[in-house]
Structure 1
Amino acid sequence: MSGIQTETLNMTSNTKQESPEKAAKTPLQLISQGVCLPGIPRHPTFTAQRQWILEQMALAFRVFARKDYTDGMAGHISVRDPENPHTFWTNPLAVHFGVLKASDMILVNYEGMPIGGNMRRPANAAGFLIHSAVHKARPDVDAACHTHSPHGMAWSAFGRPLEMLTQDAAYLYGDAQAVYQDFGGVVLTEEEGNRIGAALGAKGKGMVLQNHGLFTVGSTVSEACFLMTLMERACQCQLLAEAAAANGLQKVFIPEESAKYTFENSSDPETLYWEGQPDLEFEAYICKGEHRN
């Protein structure tokens, strides 16, 4: 993939010479048996970093299309611009996720004005109101995703957080998961967008929007995209477990300590970046690089 092919990344190997007691390993080092996966790519110029981000964004949309998260004009991804962090890139309204390219994305400012990129189409007004509120409130968030995925919408009808039923669900342990229960219809006011942004909280990574869908954030497109796919699958598993429990089977929850341990050793930005890469690299392979245009 472009970020991996074009960057020369430094990796530390001195931990191999230290005893396990002295060497505190990162989650990425813990999951890598042998040579550790490299860190998140960083490009030498804003132009190069921006192009890479937009390519990742196009691939994330194609992942969502392949996994059937499309729903008319609904759904959006936003990514903070690396040079001008008070602006962000988002997708054009009414273009299918499966055909989006880097050049299709629109740059908007916090006032909602398109100021760069693809000026031939409008952005999604509801998407702008939600994403601008999140980017303003959370400087640590560079990427945010919202979809109307099937199982996400079904689980959202309960207005409840996902339970710690599976290892994957534990990636959203504790404050990493939020629920927005004040559904006010299609988001067309700044107040509604701000309420959604506030509901995510200071540490939220994923949120169930009651009667609406799912919302995820991350420090990279890859992280936010992966968390969306993880959350959608967790909703599917939760619904299946609820159906089985309704017929008399008892759910077994992950112990608090185990869920916390899983979260702390799996849900950091570098690990979650790499969790998303297999899907993004597969999309780059099947579209033969079309996403870069």
Structure 2
Amino acid sequence: MTTVSPLTHPHGTTSAATAPAGYLADTATGLPIPGEPDFATPEEARRHRKQRLAAALRLFGKYGFGEGISGHISVRDPEYPDQFWVNPFGVSFKHVRVADLICVDSRGRVVHGKHRVNPSAFVIHSQIHELHPGATAAAHGHTAHSRALGAIGRLLDPIDQESAAFYGRQTLYEAYEGPSVSLEQGRDIAEKLGDNRAILLRHHGLITVGGSLDEAVHWFFTYDSCAQVQLLARAAGTPETFTHEQATAAGEGFGDEQLGWFSFQLLWDEIVAEQPDLLEE
């Protein structure tokens, strides 16, 4: 993404009155955010996605998003769109390496990797990827804050800038029929997700999606922290919400997809520096 100087613009010369300020960049948010990387081959893109997936899983472990065998993150294969990479069944988030990841096809068969697939991971993620071509990745976890918010049947209110990222982009899934191990239930969740970036599962947990793994995981982290803030605020009093205009304005900034993607890069740098063994292939 081009960074704009005080005197130039990528689409030609502009007047001083319309040219961006020197400290602003030519992005939707005005922030100097680079574009996503391009890859020459599917193999390079696949390696990149697998590395990001392993890092995301370690981050889930680091921040306490693990709950036994529950929780999974998936990313669509860049070459075969009916296949996705996901964490293996029975391996702790804190221990997952690139070498441990598995690739699953649309029938639930592990086509790459030595581990088994979590049935819930297959029925939920396969249906999300099938019904939502733009959902390159999906993140699901049973975090304390999302479970608490789901238990009272409330979505995020727009009470701060971060929660505005989900204003008009979240939905509540109220059906519960036990652990998600049937394709019918997975498909129902995927259908109810619609065009939203987050679906809060009552009595269950949280799912977020994005056009990249980086974006989907960032939305998960943000939603969970917003749930914590909302629960704290409601315990202390009655939170004041944004107006529609304020929530829309804040959402355009903090809900920007490119910002979501870039925000994950900071987490990537953090976890790779701390736990470089996650990259072992």
Same fold (TM over 0.5): yes
Which of 253, 269, 272 does residue 265 from structure 1 map onto?
A: 253
| Residue-by-residue CA offset, 1:107-140 (whole Å, 9 max, x unaligned) | 1111111112x1x211110111011111111100
Quote the offset at 1:208 in angstroms. Answer: 0.6
| Residue of structure 2 in register with 1:171 after alignment | 165
SS state at 1:264 partner: helix
Quote the offset at 1:267 in angstroms. Answer: 2.1
Quote the offset at 1:288 in angstroms. Answer: 2.8
Question: Which letter does structure 1 place at the counterpart of 2:240?
Answer: V
Question: Which letter does structure 2 place at the counterpart of 1:21?
Answer: T
**1:129 matched to 2:130:** no
The answer to whether the 8 A contact 2:170-2:196 is kept is: yes
SS state at 1:207 partner: strand
Q: What is the correspondence of 1:40-59 to structure 2 with a 5 Å cutoff?
A: 40-59=36-55
Question: Which letter does structure 2 place at the counterpart of 1:181?
Answer: E
The answer to whether the 8 A contact 1:80-1:143 is kept is: yes
Which of 107, 110, 116 does residue 111 from structure 1 map onto?
A: 107
Distance 2:153 2:251 in 1: 23
**1:232 matched to 2:224:** yes
Q: Name the % identity.
A: 31
Q: What is the correspondence of 1:167-246 to structure 2 with a 5 Å cutoff?
A: 167-174=161-168, 176-201=169-194, 203-245=195-237
Q: 5+ residue gaps in structure 2?
A: none
Question: Which letter does structure 2 place at the counterpart of 1:27?
Answer: A
Which of 78, 89, 95 does residue 85 from structure 2 map onto?
A: 89
Q: What is the correspondence of 1:64-83 to structure 2 with a 5 Å cutoff?
A: 64-83=60-79
SS state at 2:9 partner: helix
Question: Which letter does structure 2 place at the counterpart of 1:193?
Answer: G
| Alpha-carbon distance change, 292 to 258 in structure 1, aligned in 2, over 3 angstroms | farther
SS state at 2:116 partner: coil
| Alpha-carbon distance change, 25 to 262 in structure 1, aligned in 2, over 3 angstroms | farther
Quote the offset at 1:147 in angstroms. Answer: 0.4
| Residue of structure 2 in register with 1:5 after alignment | none
| Alpha-carbon distance change, 229 to 88 in structure 1, aligned in 2, over 3 angstroms | same
| Residue of structure 1 in register with 2:143 after alignment | 149
**1:21 matched to 2:21:** no
Distance 2:265 2:78 in 1: 20
Distance 1:148 1:280 in 2: 22
| Residue-by-residue CA offset, 1:230-282 (whole Å, 9 max, x unaligned) | 1111111111111112xxxx321011111111222332322110111111210
The answer to whether the 8 A contact 1:222-1:273 is kept is: yes
SS state at 1:99 partner: coil
| Alpha-carbon distance change, 78 to 39 in structure 1, aligned in 2, over 3 angstroms | same
The answer to whether the 8 A contact 2:55-2:278 is kept is: no
Distance 2:276 2:91 in 1: 20
SS state at 1:159 partner: coil
Distance 2:131 2:26 in 1: 31
Question: Which letter does structure 1 place at the counterpart of 2:162?
Answer: D
> What TM-score results when the alignment is normalised by the length of structure 1?
0.88
Over aligned residues, Cα RMSD in angstroms?
A: 1.8
Distance 2:219 2:280 in 1: 23
> What TM-score results when the alignment is normalised by the length of structure 2?
0.91
